[in-house]
Amino acid sequence: MNAAASRLPTPSRNVDGGAIASELLDRGVCLVRSAVREDLVQALSRDFAPTFAATPRSTGVFYGGNTKRFHSLLRRSPHMAAFVLQEAIFEAVTAILGPHCDTIQLNLTQAIELLPGGMAQPPHRDQDMWPLQHPGVEYLINVMWPLTPYRAENGTTIVWPGSHRRQQEIVMSDDEALPVEMDPGDALLFLGSTLHCGGVNRTQTSRRGMIVSYSLGWLKPYELPWLAYPPHVASTFHPDLAALAGYRAHRPNLGTYEGRCPSATLQPAGDELGAIDALRPEQERLIALYREGALQPGTPLAARPGSAVPAKT
């Protein structure tokens, strides 16, 4: 075991979301053993098997030609909800991302098959897909779910524990890298600011897994949800799942359709309605203060980032 391994916890199945969130913020990664039942993983794998077989190899220097990848996983298996909404993991995700947005969203669902051979993926931080970061704010959390055993020799995910605190470093020493070995039913969580990569598959068999990625609801997601899950598909989802998949407006008035929450498109057709405001309470209070004449030119906002409440003077 290398030095990095001693910094990666392996919580029990019954660990709560608060403990997961604490480990994530402390180490940048957290491994949850037996997060879901193995029979659920097997059922999901059966649903994905035809698509894995039909999907061509990926193209590009980042994805590499020795991988297969496909998306829109919520519509490919009814078992996805058990993974996306796993109670303790979703609680941890909400605890970390929730304070920085009105609602969280699915950034990505992606199935991955790493074929034998090829090159290791370049180390990277997934938050770098967005050009600006605010210090102290995490933009996304990834959850890697293995569908087959992940081992060092078959190219398991490699993480650099603690790298979320060293974001100015583009690469870090191999001595600090940890190949995370895990089995179907386990879940590896890591922050968008954590350095990681996929390894090289040195065996003769593929390894398969999937990523479920959550992000702040005001960011443009990796996967366009309304194309991945048009209304006739999303209307079959549990409301919580549909909301994560884009069918929920983010206050103030982001991601609307015809001026209303896009969840309206999932309801039976009825009378046309006009636009409906979707504002945060502090924004409504600010408007009320303005209409009462309580705001004067030059009134400062409170220091809290994102606040729309004027500071007391």
Rg of the chain (C-alpha set): 21
Structure-token pair, residue 113: 């098959």
Chain centre to alpha carbon of residue 267: 27
* H or E element at residue 241: helix 239-244
Residue type, 272: E
Helices marked H in 17-116: 17-27, 38-54, 80-84, 87-97
Residue 303: predicted pLDDT: 34
- At residue 313, the pLDDT reads 40
SS3 304: coil
Q: Which residues contact 104 (CB under 8 A, 6 or more apart)?
A: 93, 94, 97, 98, 214, 215, 216, 217, 244
Name the phi and psi angles at 100, rounded to 5: -110, 10
- Burial of 115: CB neighbours in 10 Å, binned 0-12, 13-18, 19+: middle
pTM, whole model, 2 decimals? 0.89
Contact 245, 234 (CB under 8 A): yes
| Cβ proximity of 80 and 41 under 8 Å | no
* Helix intervals (H) in 14-172: 17-27, 38-54, 80-84, 87-97
Which whole-number Å values give the CA distances from 127 to 50, 161, 210, 228, in the listed order?
Answer: 31, 16, 18, 21
Instruction: Give, for all 313 residues of the chain, the pLDDT tens digit.
Output: 344 443 454 444 557 999 999 999 999 999 999 999 999 999 999 999 999 999 999 998 888 889 999 999 999 999 999 999 999 999 999 999 999 999 999 999 999 999 999 888 999 999 999 998 888 999 999 999 999 999 999 999 999 999 999 999 999 999 999 999 999 999 999 999 999 999 999 999 999 999 999 999 999 999 999 999 999 999 999 999 999 999 999 999 999 998 989 999 998 876 667 888 888 888 888 888 888 888 878 777 653 334 444 444 4
Alpha helices in 55-121 (DSSP H): 80-84, 87-97
Angle at 109 between CA 152 and CA 6, to 5 degrees: 35
With contact defined as beta carbons under 8 Å apart, do 209 and 68 qualify? no
